[in-house]
Each structure stands twice: as structure tokens, then as C-alpha cells.
Amino acid sequence: MKSKQKKVLVRIIISAVLLAAMKIFAPEEGWPAALLYALPYGVIGYDVIFKAVRNIAHGQVFDENFLMVIATVGAFATGEYMEAAAVMLFYQVGELFQSVAVGKSRRSISALMDIRPDHANIEIDGELTEADPEEVGVGSEIIIKPGERVPLDGIVLEGSGTIDTSALTGESLPRTVRPGDDVISGCINQNGMLRVRVTKPYGESTVARILDLVENSASKKAKAENFITRFARVYTPAVCFGALALAVIPPLFAGGWLNWLHRALIFLVISCPCALVISVPLSFFGGIGGAGREGILVKGGSYLEVLSRSSTVVFDKTGTLTKGVFNVTAIHPEKISEAQLIELAAYAESYSTHPIALSILDALNAEVDRARIEDYQEQSGKGVLAVIDRRKVAVGNDKLMDSIGVKWHPCHHVGTTVHVAVDGEYAGHLVISDELKETSIEAIKQLRENGIQKTVMLTGDSKAVGEDTAKRLGIDEAYCELLPADKVERVEALLAAKPEKTALAFVGDGINDAPVLSRADIGIAMGAMGSDAAIEAADIVLMDDDPAKIAKAIRISRKTVRIVYENIIFALGVKGLVLILGAFGLASMWAAVFADVGVSVIAILNAMRCLRAGK
């Protein structure tokens, strides 16, 4: 509890003691009673009175401070001294409870902010010097000691150790790194001294992007949040004028001015919109915080709301449902050896960053001499044309071979086929086989258990590979041999076919699938650790590559939205009922206190369940 909250708690205790003493010793009527009850009222309510006066001076008349001051001062004017002081006391109890709840929710978000690195160690003349990570340039070498947080993205040059990625992924299992491995900022080096070469400036590092995402998540409000904001602007002045009408109009016909004034004051206390104004944003804030602890970064409450309506989930295959780590096998090399076939394919693909190209380069197991490459031309969705050692080399799929007039041989092995042609003659092909992730089958099963009606896979792989993968996973539909533009068209068709008022989520790696991520109702980036484009392209970022987290994200979103609507219905229902009873003189000031403070506390307690939405 913060010092400000502790001071409010002390005031609540003092005021409660004074109020109890007044109840026992003070007279019930007359100006002495008014003066005595004004003491506990002033102790507990002076800040509310100050805020109301200040807001009125700034033209902001209709808020909860104004309602409480008018209601309690009016109660004093009608001789209800005990009720006036008690209403202000319970109002402050509710405000303190709300403040503590919001603080707890904020701490769940700020826990993610602890990934911010304090410094980077740079070696100068044999001595380590601490530097601001923002001042360390790309290519610099930094030293990461055991127990320190990795300050910048880079590649391990020397040393080995285990890296704790739990702050980013929510997973407790550490990762072992050795020379040549990538490390990303925000993780903790548990043991071993690491020398790392920086590959990105701080502003483009993983930790900087995550911090920016978290800091701005509150700006993306859900429809329910925007509704409550607009509702409060209309609701508060409406109930003020309603209370004024209740105090003035009936006495003109029935008399009993004090009785109707007392009803109007009860009406004002009941009408305070605290339960809605606080609990709805708090619910979304808690949902975002709870998801963050699971390694699921949500860019705002609006995306939680859309995700909760998902009925169709569309997947990219490579790197999403499969590991993206390929086995390369040379099949039927003609006129050249297997080693030459792999070498030519690797040289042709040496400028590509596609996972298949990287796997072929790994299969070469040697440095590429780029001086041997005279020309390079990439054809989107087909492959690569290059001049290597003055020979024209074509490496790609069936479509590339057809476009250059080379007769290719079909492959009967399950996997992605990469054909190689040299100087217009077919030289053979490679079979690239990928493995399913360990949790992919369980992920699809969990999606079905969470009410997802249709699962779809989009891939550029051959029909045989795509359909085999979809069958093993239990995916409803698979569309294969798609170019990047084809994927967008397919998502457009799926969007048109989905049930009304539901959403379509697309799950991809966030790099090659940026157009589809943007077009879907909700874009989810998989395996975003170290990815430049993923955090920018997607609405939700999973900080590891576990597809099972998708079902967890959907569960969190649905629980959060359910709690939001529970609070809206509960608060409006109770307040509406007590408002009607109060207008007819059937509700006391104590019932009004429950309708305001009691409902707020219950709604806030319910909203706090969002912090545990991932459990």
C-alpha cells in the first residue's frame, strides 16, 4: 500500500472512531449536533469537497465528487447528520479499495516493464565500463555477467550459459546458448560469462519494442470501454437533473418539501457511476496484465474483445505449426553430384531469408563465396534465378521450371520439392521436410474445446505436403501452393464466409505474413522473440513459438469480456432497482450507500479475477 493510500486509511479509521463516538455521545438534533458531526465529515471528506470545487471552477461540474458533495451537504441541510458523514465515509472506503485494486492491476503490467536493462558492459583497455544501452552501437561487443539482464540483441561470440526467458515468454524452462547463437534483450543470463556482438540498436531491440507495446496498450480501448466513457458523460448530468426534478416537481402538487428533497439526495448517491467507470477499464487492464504474465502481449483492450469473438482460426504452416527447421535431402541428381546439387542450390538461395533457403545453406555447411555469384533475381512465389560460375542456375518450384521451359521430374517423397536447373537443363531436386511442433496437435484440439468452429491452414507448399500436415493435425481445411497474394485473397474469402458478428484470427510468423496479419480481424504473431516485424504487424504477440498459447489467449479474452459484461449488467441492474425504490421513498440512505459503494466494491472484486484469467 502506497503512502497516499495509507494516509486515506488513517483518515478512514479516525473518521469511523469519531462517528462511533458521535453516535453515542452527541445530540441527535440541533446546531450542536451539526457541528459535532461535521468533524468526522470534514476529516474524511475534505479532499472530495476540494476536488468538487476545483472541477466546478474548471467547468467540469458533473462527476462523482459533485454528486457526493451535493448529496451529503443536502443531508446535513435536512438534519440527517449521521447519514451524511457515514455516506462520505463509505464512499472513501470504496475509493481506497478501488485505488488498491487498480494498483495491483498496474503492478501486473509493470512487472513486464522490469525487463528494461539498466546498463551494458563494454570492455575498454581491458576494463569493463558500464554504458547506457541506448549509446551502444551495432557491431559493438558487450560482456554479460552471470545474473545480469541481456541489454541488447546480439550474437554470442564467446562463452556459454543458460538464459532465463520467462519475463518474455512466461516459460520457466531456461535456454542454453553457445557461440553463434542469438540472444535477445530482456532475458537474464543465469550462469556463464558471455561476450556478445550487438546486432541491433536499442531502439530496434526486442526489449524496446515490447516496452513500447506495453506502455501504449491502454490507448487501444475496447468498445465496452468507449461505451462506458460516453455513457458517463450523458448519465451523470441526466441523473443530476432527474434528482432536481424529483426534489422540485412532486412537492408542487403533493407538498412535503423536505421528504422529496431527502429522496432526491438518496437518488444522487445511488446514481454515482463509479462501479462502471472503474470496473470496466480495470477488467481489460487486468486481462492484459494476466495475459502478459503468460507471455502473451496484447496491444489493447479492443483486441481482447475481438479475439473473444473468434470462430475461425487461420494458420500459416512453416514456423507456426511446424518447427521451420528443415531436413535437406538430394534426390536423383542428374549429371552432377549430390554435393554439387546442394552447393548450387545454396549459392542461388544465399541472399534469401526464407526458412527453406536458410536450411539449404545449413546443408552446405560451408561459407558462401559471393564473388562466384554474378547475377541474382528472385521471383516471388516461384524461386531464384542466378548466374554462378558463369552458369545460369534456376532453383525453385514447379512453376519456376515451367516458366523457363525446363521439364522437371515429379517427386514422390513427402516434403517441399526444390528443383535445380543448370543452363536450361534439369539437374535434380532437393526434398525439404519439416517437423510438426510438439504442441501443434494439442493446440488444434484445445481450439476445438474452446468453441472454435473452423481451423484453416494456408501454405505455399505442395498439395501433398500441405494436405499431409493438415491431416496429421486435424485441421478442417488446407489451401496449398499459395503465393503471398493468394493468401490475402483466401483470407478475404474466409472473412466473407464466417458467421456474422464473429471474428477471424490469423496466426503467422509476423514477417512474411504481414499483409495477411493486417487483413484478418485479429493478427497473432508466433515466435516473435527477436523478430523485427512481428510486433508491428500483429495485434497480439506470443513471445515464444508455442501454438498452444493461442487457445490460452482466447480463454483469457473470453473470460475478460464475460467479466466486463457481468459488471455492466450487475451495476446497472442494482442501481436501476434502487433508483426506482428511492424515487418512491422505499430506499433509505443506507440502501443508497450499498448501491454506490457496495456495488463498486463487488464489481472491482469481480474485475480483479481478470488478473488470473490465464490460470
Could you report the per-residue pLDDT of 557-567, keeping only the tens digit for each?
999 999 989 98
With 70 as the cut, is the pLDDT of residue 615 above it? no
Higher pLDDT, 226 or 423: 423
* Alpha-helical regions (H) of 149-300: 166-169, 206-215, 223-254, 257-270, 274-293
Q: State the catalytic residue, choosing from 316, 434, 539, 546.
A: 316
**What predicted TM-score, i.e. pTM, was given to this entire model?**
0.70
Q: What is the pLDDT of residue 43?
A: 93
Which of the residue ranges 115-129, 339-353, 482-496, 562-576 would you say has the lowest mean pLDDT? 115-129
With 60 as the cut, is the pLDDT of residue 530 above it? no
Give the range with max mean pLDDT: 171-175, 241-245, 388-392. 388-392
Which of the residue ranges 166-170, 246-250, 476-480, 599-603 would you say has the lowest mean pLDDT? 166-170
373-392 pLDDT per residue, tens:
988 888 877 889 999 999 99
Rounded Cα distance between 531 and 205, Å, is 9
Q: What is the mean pLDDT of the chain?
A: 83
- Determine the average pLDDT of the residues in 390-402: 91
Q: Of the candidates 123, 149, 141, 147, which has an alpha carbon nearest to the alpha carbon of residue 179?
A: 141
Tell me what percent of the residues of the chain surpass a pLDDT of 70.
88
Which of the residue ranges 95-99, 201-205, 425-429, 479-483 would you say has the lowest mean pLDDT? 95-99
User: Where does the pLDDT of residue 549 fall: very low under 50, low under 70, confident under 90, or very high at 90 and above?
Assistant: very high
Angle between helices 274-293 and 81-113 (to 10 degrees): 20
Higher pLDDT, 412 or 419: 419
With 70 as the cut, is the pLDDT of residue 170 above it? no
CA 487 to chain CA mean position, Å: 25
* Alpha-helical regions (H) of 26-169: 30-57, 64-77, 81-113, 166-169
Residues 329 and 431: beta-carbon distance below 8 Å: yes
Q: What is the pLDDT of residue 46?
A: 92
- Determine the average pLDDT of the residues in 15-37: 85
52-110 pLDDT per residue, tens:
899 888 877 777 788 778 878 877 877 778 878 888 888 888 778 777 776 665 665 55
Q: Is 499 exposed, middle or buried (0-12, 13-18, 19+ CB in 10 A)?
A: exposed
Residues 146 and 130: beta-carbon distance below 8 Å: no
Q: Of the candidates 549, 608, 609, which has an alpha carbon nearest to the alpha carbon of residue 297?
A: 549
What are the structural domains of the chain? Answer: 3-111+218-284+559-612 (no CATH), 120-151+153-199 (2.70.150.10), 296-322+436-543 (3.40.50.1000), 327-433 (3.40.1110.10)
User: Where does the pLDDT of residue 436 fall: very low under 50, low under 70, confident under 90, or very high at 90 and above?
Assistant: confident
Q: What is the pLDDT of residue 44?
A: 92
- Determine the average pLDDT of the residues in 491-513: 86
Which of the residue ranges 197-211, 294-308, 519-533 would you say has the lowest mean pLDDT? 519-533
Residue pointed to by grid coordinates 464466417: 498
Which of the residue ranges 152-156, 248-252, 294-298 would you say has the lowest mean pLDDT? 294-298
Q: What is the pLDDT of residue 583?
A: 79
With 90 as the cut, is the pLDDT of residue 442 above it? yes
Which of the residue ranges 166-170, 431-435, 453-457, 501-505 would you say has the lowest mean pLDDT? 166-170
- Determine the average pLDDT of the residues in 167-173: 61
User: Per residue in 93-109, is it b (16+ CB within 10 Å) or e — as a string?
Assistant: bbbbbbbbbbeebeebb
Give the range with max mean pLDDT: 11-20, 180-189, 251-260. 11-20
Higher pLDDT, 409 or 46: 46
Q: What is the pLDDT of residue 14?
A: 94
Q: Is 242 exposed, middle or buried (0-12, 13-18, 19+ CB in 10 A)?
A: middle
User: Where does the pLDDT of residue 552 fall: very low under 50, low under 70, confident under 90, or very high at 90 and above?
Assistant: very high
CA 81 to chain CA mean position, Å: 48
The cell for 86 is 457515514
User: Where does the pLDDT of residue 602 fall: very low under 50, low under 70, confident under 90, or very high at 90 and above?
Assistant: confident
Residues 210 and 535: beta-carbon distance below 8 Å: yes
With 70 as the cut, is the pLDDT of residue 512 above it? no
Rounded Cα distance between 62 and 236, Å, is 6
295-345 pLDDT per residue, tens:
888 888 888 899 999 999 999 887 788 887 677 877 766 678 888 899 999
- In the residue annotation, 544 being an active-site residue is answered as no
339: helix, coil or strand? helix
User: Where does the pLDDT of residue 510 fall: very low under 50, low under 70, confident under 90, or very high at 90 and above?
Assistant: low
Higher pLDDT, 528 or 130: 130
Alpha-carbon distances of 232 from 8, 61, 228, 601, rounded to whole Å: 26, 13, 6, 18
Q: Of the candidates 452, 492, 497, which has an alpha carbon nearest to the alpha carbon of residue 476?
A: 452
Higher pLDDT, 112 or 487: 487
With 80 as the cut, is the pLDDT of residue 276 above it? no
